[in-house]
Chain A
Amino acid sequence: MAEALALTDVAFRWPGRAGFGLSVPGWRVAAGARLLLLGESGSGKSTLLSLICGINRPDRGRVEVDGTDLGALGSTRRDRVRAERIGVVFQQFNLLPYASPTDNICLPLRFAPERRQRAEAAGRGGARAEARRLMTALKLPEEAIDAPRAGLLSVGQQQRIAVARALIGAPPLLIADEPTSALDAGSQDAFLDLLFTQCEAAGTTLIMVSHDDRLAPRFDDAIRLEDIATIQRTGFAA
C-alpha cells in the first residue's frame, strides 16, 4: 500500500537549544489512514510536526511526504510541498481574524498552484465556490459563510473554517493538532464525523495529534509519540 508519510532514521536538534532533540528511527503512515498520535505537552509533538511540514529539515534521515523526501529539498521547495500536499488544523485554529472565511480557506491556494487547480476543478465555479461548498459540507450556516471577518465567528465555526482551509484542493495529508481540545464530548464526536467524512471524500490521509486517548476508538490506529520517537533533553549525538 502507498505511504502518505514515511520517516526513516530521522534526528533533529533545535539550533541554539542545546539539550533538546528528537529522533525517529522509523515511522510510516499508509495513504488514506486515519491515525491518532497521542502525546503530552512538551513531548516533542510540535518538533515532529515542524519536520513533517518541512518547516525544519532533519539533521539526519528522511522525511517523505507523499513520496517526496523533504530533507533533500531547499527551503523554497519545502514551502511549496507543504502548501501543495499538507493541510494543517491547529489547536487554536489559527485563522486570520481580519480576513473573511473564504479568504482564510483560499489562503494556501495562493502558494500552491496545483492545489488551486484541483480546488477550481472541484468547485466548478472556481476556488471560492469550492471554499463555499466545503463550508456548507461542514455545516456552517449561511451567515457564518458570508461573515466579513473570521474573528466574528464562534469557536466551533472557526474550527470548521480551519478544517475547510486544510481540506481545500484535497491535499494528500492532513495534520490536525489538538483540534478537539476546546470541545465537549458531544461536539467532539460531531466534529470528528465531519472531519472523517470530508477526509474520505477528498482521499486525504489524516494524522490527528492529541493528548486525549479516549478518542482512540474513533481512529483506524492510535500510536503514542514515545513509541515512535525519542526525546533527548540533556544532550544529543547526531
Chain B
Amino acid sequence: MILTRLAFRSLIARRITVGLTILSIALSVALFMGVEKVRTGAKGSFADTISDTDLIVGARSGSVQLLLYSVFRIGNATNNITWQSYQEIAERPEVDWMVPISLGDSHHQFRVMGTTEAYFDRYHFRGGRSLSFAQGGRMDDLFDAVIGADVARELGYELGDPIVVAHGIASFTEHDDLPFRVAGILDRTGTPVDRTVIVGLDAITAIHVDWQGGARAPGQTTPAEELRQMDLTPDAVTAAMVGVKNRIQIFQLQRWINEYPSEPLLAVLPGVALQELWGIVGIAETALIGVSGMVVATALIGMAAMIFSGLNERRREMAILRANGARPLTIMGLLTLEAAMMALAGALLGAVMLYLGLWLAQPWIDAAFGLYLTIDAPSAREGMVLVTVVLAGAATGLLPALRAYRLSLADGMTPRT
C-alpha cells in the first residue's frame, strides 16, 4: 500500500510533465473511442433510417445502389419501375402494403420525393418510430408539400410558403408555373427524411404533364385547376417500399420479384443491403481505427519517453528505496505501476472527455450531419479498449522500468549521476 501511495505521490510531485503525458493519452483515447462512437453511431444511424420495411424494390442494379438512392437519397436510379409492374407486385398475395417512391426532382439542395399518404403510416425509423408533424399536416391539395426539419430550418420555410420544384437534380429549369405550398413540417428524425420535400405521387405526374423528353413542351401550360381534374396515374415510379403479411414469405416474394419476367427488377432486404454497404466501407473503417490506434500507441510511447528522460533525475529516489531494502525488481515494479497509473488516468480522462464532448456536440452533429450519436453507458467493447490501454501502458512502462532496474543495480545506495 505504501508503495502505491509513494508512486502516486511521486507522480503528483512531477505533476506538470505527468499531467501533459496523461493529457496526451487522454486525447488519444478520446480520439480512438470517438472514432469508434462515430463509426457505430453512423452504422446505427444508417440502420435506424428504415425499419419495419421488409423489401425495397427498384429497377435492377446493385442492391447497395438501390438502398442508397431509395432510402438515403444518395445517387440516382438507373431506371424506373413501370406502374403496371408496381401494381402486379402490390396485388401479390404475400404483400401487405406497398408504398411508391418517385424521385428525380429537387428543390435547392434537397430532393423532392413523390409518394402516397401511406408513406406517413408505413415509413418507420429508429426502431419503429413514426413520422410526426412539428407544424401542419399531410398533403390535402394536389400541390401541397410536406418538408423535413432540415429543409424548413435551412430555407427558413413556414407553413403556407411557396415551393418551386426544379426539374431534375441540380437543374436550372423549374416547374415555376406550378408552385407547391408548405402544408406540413415534420419533426426531426435524424434520417434523410429531414432533408426531403415530400409531395404527392400524382403531383409529380401533374408537374410533368406539359413536359416531354425532359423539357417543357413549348407553349403548353395546363392550368392547376385542370390538372386537379385529370387522371394523374403515373407511368412509372423510382422504387417502392414493401411490407409482407408474413415474414417467412419475404424470400419467396423477393425471388418472385427478382425473376419478374416483364422487366428487370431488384428486391432487397434493407438489412442485408446495409451489411453489403458495411462490407464496402469496412476498409476505410479499418484504416480509420488503425490510424487512431497509432495515435494511442504514440501517446504511450511518449509516456515511456517521459519516464526515460526523468530516470536520471530520479536515481537518488531509486537509491533511497534501495538503501531501505527495496529490491531492483521492486523498483522496476514501481515504475511499471507508475506507467499503469498514468495510462489508467489517461484512459479514464479520455473517456470523460469523450462523453463530455459527445454531450456538448451531439445536437450540433445531429443538426449538421444528421448523425445521431447515442450517449449510452460505456459498452463492454469500450471497457476493453480502456483495459487494453492500461495494460499497454504498463507494458510500455516496462522499458524504462528495465532501465531503472539496471541503474539501481549499478548505483546501489549511491547514484552515480
Contact = CB atoms under 8 A, between A and B. Distances in A.
Interface of A: 46, 49-50, 53, 55-56, 75-76, 79-80, 82-84, 88, 90, 94-99, 103, 106-112, 149, 165
A98 B316 contact: no
Given A55-B413, A111-B325, A112-B325, A94 B319 contact: yes
B405 to A, nearest CB: 12
B327 A96 contact: no
Contacts of A82: 323, 325
Contacts of B316: 94
Residue among A79, A103, A109, A165 with the highest chain B CB neighbour number at 10 A: A79
B325 A98 contact: no
B323 A94 contact: yes
Given A83-B324, A94-B323, A98-B13, 4 more contacts: A88-B323, A98-B10, A109-B2, A111-B326
Given A53-B413, A55-B412, A99-B9, A107 B321 contact: yes
Interface string B169-210: 000000000000000000000000000000000000000000
Contacts of B324: 83, 88, 107-108, 110-111, 165
Contact of B13 (A80, A95, A97): A97
Contacts of B13: 97-98
A95 B320 contact: yes
B355 to A, nearest CB: 32
Given A75-B327, A82-B325, A94-B320, A110 B2 contact: yes
A106 B323 contact: no
A95 to B, nearest CB: 7
B2 A53 contact: no
A166 B320 CA distance: 12
Interface string B5-19: 110011011000000
Nearest to B320: A94
A111 B9 contact: no
Contact of A50 (B6, B320, B414): B414
Contacts of A110: 2-3, 324-326
A95 B6 CA distance: 12
A90 B323 contact: yes
B317 interface: yes
B413 A80 contact: no
B325 A83 contact: yes
Contacts of A53: 323, 412-413
B73 interface: no
A59 to B, nearest CB: 15
Contacts of A98: 6, 9-10, 12-13
B258 interface: no
A53 B412 CA distance: 10
A165 B325 CA distance: 12
Interface string B306-341: 000000000011011111111110100000000000
Contacts of A46: 413-414
Contacts of A55: 322-323, 412-413
Given A49-B413, A106-B2, A108-B325, A96 B320 contact: yes
A92 B82 CA distance: 95
Contacts of A99: 5-6, 9
Contacts of A83: 324-326
B332 to A, nearest CB: 13
Contacts of A106: 2
A231 B252 CA distance: 99
A96 B324 CA distance: 11
A70 to B, nearest CB: 13
A149 to B, nearest CB: 8
Given A79-B326, A94-B316, A98-B13, A103 B5 contact: yes
B379 to A, nearest CB: 38
A33 B327 CA distance: 29
Residue among B5, B325, B328, B330 with the highest chain A CB neighbour number at 10 A: B325
Residue among B322, B413, B414 with the highest chain A CB neighbour number at 10 A: B413
A109 B3 CA distance: 11
A6 to B, nearest CB: 21
17 contacts: A46-B413, A53-B413, A55-B322, A82-B325, A94-B316, A94-B320, A96-B9, A96-B320, A99-B9, A103-B6, A107-B320, A109-B2, A110-B3, A110-B325, A111-B327, A111-B330, A165-B324
Nearest to B8: A98
Contacts of B319: 94
Residue among B9, B13, B324 with the highest chain A CB neighbour number at 10 A: B324
Contact of B327 (A79, A94, A95, A107): A79
A109 B324 CA distance: 8
A103 B412 CA distance: 22
A33 B324 CA distance: 22
A210 to B, nearest CB: 17
B262 to A, nearest CB: 84
